[in-house]
Amino acid sequence: MARKTTREPIEEKIIRSEYSEVMQKSYIDYAMSVIISRALPDVRDGLKPVQRRTLYDMYELDIKYDKPYRKCARIVGDTMGKYHPHGDASIYDALVVMSQEFKKGLPLVDGHGNFGSIEGDGAAAMRYTEARLEKVTQDCFLADLDKDVVDFIPNFDETEKEPSVLPVRVPNLLINGAEGIAVGMATSIPPHNVGEIIDAMTAFIKNNDITTEELMEIVPGPDFPTGGIVINKDELLEIYETGAGKIKIRGKVEVEDVKGGKQRLVITEIPYTMIGAGISKFLNDVADLVDTKKTNDIVDISNQSSKEGIRIVLELRKDADLKNLENMLYKKTRLEDTFGVNMLAIADGKPETMGIRKILEHCVDFQFEISNRKYTNLLAKERDRQEIQEGLIEACDVIDLIIEILRGSKDVKMAKACLTEGVADGIKFKNPLSKAMAEQLRFTPRQATAILEMRLQKLIGLEIDALIKEHEETMKKIAHYEDLLNNYSSMSKQILKELAEYKKEYTRDRRTVIENSEAAVYEEKKFEEAEVVFLMDRFGYARTVEPSVYEKNKEAADKENKYIFTCMNTDKILLFTDKGQVHSIKVRDLPCGKFRDKAVPVDNVSNYDSSKESIVLVQDLATISFAKLLFTTKYGMMKHVYGTEFDVAKRTVASTKLNDGDELVSVEIITEQRNVILKTHGGYFLRFLVDEVPEKKKAAVGVRAIRLTGNDYVENVYFTLYNDDTAVEINGKSVVLNKIKLLKRDAKGVKPKL
């Protein structure tokens, strides 16, 4: 029989908390995780976690600059599996960016294959590309990792160790810059010249009280990989003092002479912000300036850029106004742009916006920290070496005694005890004096181990001399390391020496020019007001021609076009559609030229969508503004609206309010018309006076004009004057509209006798 067991009731614990407090804490934890662990760089090494982990993984895989390239897929997979479990895309993107010379002032990865282009082409898939570390990355970023210079922390699953920061020997945050969007904050730091930043760090070490103004005599401003010209030099001091501001940059424009007395503008450097899709956007913007007649000086544009550099060529007409055109490009395109600076980074475990002096201060402190740890580690190793060397030298002096001890000992433990503590009991000595000498031995355990492992060849005279020299070198190193660790000035000199070596090997000429330039001012050519004839065919293609051109081709124009009227080239064209919308088009946006020149679809120059709506009326704004419009809908609603209501700045507004399912059937400009005749799909006609329709606002629905029965609806709207004999054909027979019985608005209408 099974034994019954009694269980004590589990004490229930309910933790009560405000939902808002839980959500607030959770969101703050998430935000800080994104800020600290993903989006922002550390001020000490200038790297985001994904960049740091990728470089460290390449270091662990031994993919050095003098070793063969390895597949990026291997690097990405290894990094993701060991250190960065956030998806392969972010790791590969970071790897690609660190290899792109047009984005980084100092590329850290040597990419082999298609790693994208300055024009925005993406890199090939990671299975096709290869990479290895750059020499500078090994020398300045990963060197001394084996000397305990930085702390190592557990990875995400605590199966590996990773460095909390890389022992970077130069201010990488300023050299390569940084971009990142966190939660509630973002960083944007421009790249700088390697040599200038090293000089600034050198100056800071020599004088900790150096001012930002003095630093900027060394670092005049950013040095973008794409070159360009910074034009607000006087504003840079405040930006580098506070760590925030706006840097204005321009592309570099050169003038080249070509045959026939013509010239062309060649853009050889672009603003850093134009990298990628900005180049094609610039080309499109220039094309738009030509299409909209903002300039007639440009006859052709071509992008001749290659691996050698940027070359965008603008072919100009003869006698073009070069200065005015250049200013227009600065004003109307991204050839002049703004780089927003926000030097935000993680400092002492929290995000902080810092000026250049504060960043250098953190970097210098970090250099002294890793140098102290490095030389402390090296000193400990040299002292260990000193201990062993001194033990071996002393052993050589009493080698006969040691041999006698070894021969007389029963085991290694007995021999070691004699060497370290002078315990000679149990050891057989040939000479009683030897035992007394053995009892005086006091080697350290490490020395004793080295003596026991010593080879007989060490007893050769030359080997002993080499051991003594090696000991002398060790003592020199110990003295040097102690001097570095005990004297600030000595450590400073050592760091400065290393910085000078880095500068000598990795510096390059400045690419970006820093100056004060006047704001771009260009005179927009005055648009000459002139009368034109608007032409639009039934397919929605529109253009304008001069009145003389129209008169010469009047017959063909009238035959080929649905809408024809005269307007001014400064006017707007209004398109009223069946969906109750009115779209406006600037006449100047339409091509104007010869009669057979190509027209443009109105869809391209307005918000009109021919696939969703149909045009009811096309007219120029000037004509409509001085008129009254009569609106008629499919369900028989009508109203008068003054044309002035459609003189608005928006490109699209509602021309009338429609009930569900209703559509606009007719919009008529009312001048001298007296009668309106509505014809329904069911064959009913209703004729009444136009004056019976009230005036309403464009946002109103209107009033009922005809009583419809069943599924009947208004199909056509006609207008007549008195004594007008206008007729329409119904079922093959002619019906004179003015002979239809005159009724009142809101009647059912009549069916004419056929």
**CB 302, CB 282: distance < 8 Å:** no
Q: What is the dihedral of CA 414, 415, 418, 419, to 10 degrees?
A: -150
Report the interhelical angle of 412-421 vs 399-408 (nearest 10°).
140
What burial letters (b/e) apply to 526-551, b meaning 16+ CB within 10 Å? eeeeeebbbbbeeebbbbbbbeebbe
Distances (CA, A) of 97 to 226, 280, 332: 15, 20, 30
Alpha carbons 284 and 272: distance in angstroms, whole number? 18
Q: What are phi and psi of 730, to 5 degrees?
A: -125, 120
**CB 691, CB 751: distance < 8 Å:** no
Alpha carbons 396 and 419: distance in angstroms, whole number? 13
Q: Give all strands of the β-sheet with 685-689 in edge-to-edge order.
A: 685-689, 675-680, 714-720
**CB 499, CB 169: distance < 8 Å:** yes
Alpha carbons 302 and 684: distance in angstroms, whole number? 63
Alpha carbons 665 and 686: distance in angstroms, whole number? 16
**CB 395, CB 388: distance < 8 Å:** no
DSSP codes of every residue in 392-414: HHHHHHTHHHHHHHHHH-SSHHH
As annotated, the active-site residues are 128
Alpha helices in 398-533 (DSSP H): 399-408, 412-421, 432-438, 445-453, 461-486, 488-506
Alpha carbons 52 and 94: distance in angstroms, whole number? 10
Alpha carbons 401 and 451: distance in angstroms, whole number? 12
Alpha carbons 278 and 107: distance in angstroms, whole number? 22
The candidate with the shortest Cα–Cα distance to 669, out of 698, 640, 706, 697, is: 640
- Find the helix or strand (DSSP H, E) in which 58 lies: helix 49-60
Amino acid present at 437: M
Alpha helices in 513-662 (DSSP H): 547-552, 554-560, 602-605, 621-625
Alpha carbons 542 and 464: distance in angstroms, whole number? 101
Tokens at residue 688, please?
Answer: 């009444």
